[in-house]
Amino acid sequence: MLPQAYNFLASASVIPVMVIEREADAIPMAEALVAGGIKVLEITLRTPCALAAIKAISEAVPDAHVGAGTVCNGDDFSAAVDAGARFIVSPGQSDALFDKSITSNTPLLPGAVTATEVMRAAEAGFKVLKFFPASTSGGAAAIKAFSGPFSSISFVPTGGIGPKNLLEYLQLPNVQAAGGSWMLPKDKVQSGDWHAVTQLSREASELSKIKESIQ
C-alpha cells in the first residue's frame, strides 16, 4: 500500500521524464501528455528554464500533477517547491534532501540501487524510491530481487526504459511506476508536433492499463 503522501502515483504507471529546452514548449508539451492520459509529470532540473517551466505548467495545466526531477541538493529542492513542484525526484539521496522533504511535507523519491541505499532511505521513512539508472544497475531482475528483503519498498525505475521493455518492469509487484522519455522524441518536440506526443502518450497509457490488470 502506498503511503498517503504518494497516492498521486496510484494511477501513474508511466511517468514522462521531461527535459524542457525552451520555456515556450512547457505548456503545450504538458497539455499533449495530459491529453494522452499521462497526468503525473517529472520535469528535470537539467536546463536553465526548468523552474520556469514547472511554474508555467503548475499554473496553466490544472490536470497535471507536476514534480521536479534531477534534484541533487537542498537549494534545488526548495526552488522546485517554490516554483510549484508537488513532488521531488532525486537520482541519489542525502540528509539534506530527507530533511527538506520532511520539513516541507513534500513527497521525495530518493534514488537507490543498492541494498545499503534502500536500507538508508527506508530508515529515514521513505518507502517509494527511484531506481536509476535502471538498465545499467541490474534492470528488472535487480528490482525483483529486492522484493524479498525489502517487501515494503516500491520502486520507480528510470533509465533505459522504453516500449520494448516497459512491461518487464510494470509486471513486478514492487514497481509502482516506470519513467522514460520515449513519448517525447526530440524531433517531435523540436518541431512542435504535439499531436505525435499525445499519440505516444496514449499508447503508454494503454500499457498502464496492463499494469492495473496485473495488480
At residue 174, does pLDDT exceed 80?
yes
Percent of the chain predicted with pLDDT > 70: 97
Q: Would you say 156 and 130 are in contact if contact means Cβ atoms under 8 Å apart? A: yes
Q: How confident is the model at residue 4 (pLDDT cuts 50, 70, 90)?
A: confident
Mean pLDDT, residues 42-52: 98
- Active-site pick, 39, 55, 130, 211: 130
CATH classification at residue 149: 3.20.20.70
- Active-site pick, 42, 55, 100, 211: 42
Whole-angstrom Cα distance, residue 201 to residue 165?
16
**Overall number of domains in the chain:** 1
CB atoms within 10 A of CB 57: 26
130 a catalytic residue:
yes
> What residues form DSSP beta bridges with 154?
128
This prediction has a pTM of 0.96
pLDDT in tens, 6-32: 999 998 999 999 999 999 999 999 999
Q: Is 189 exposed, middle or buried (0-12, 13-18, 19+ CB in 10 A)?
A: buried
186 a catalytic residue:
no
Residue ranges making up the domain that contains 16 = 4-214
- Mean pLDDT rounded to a whole number for the chain: 96
Q: How confident is the model at residue 211 (pLDDT cuts 50, 70, 90)?
A: low
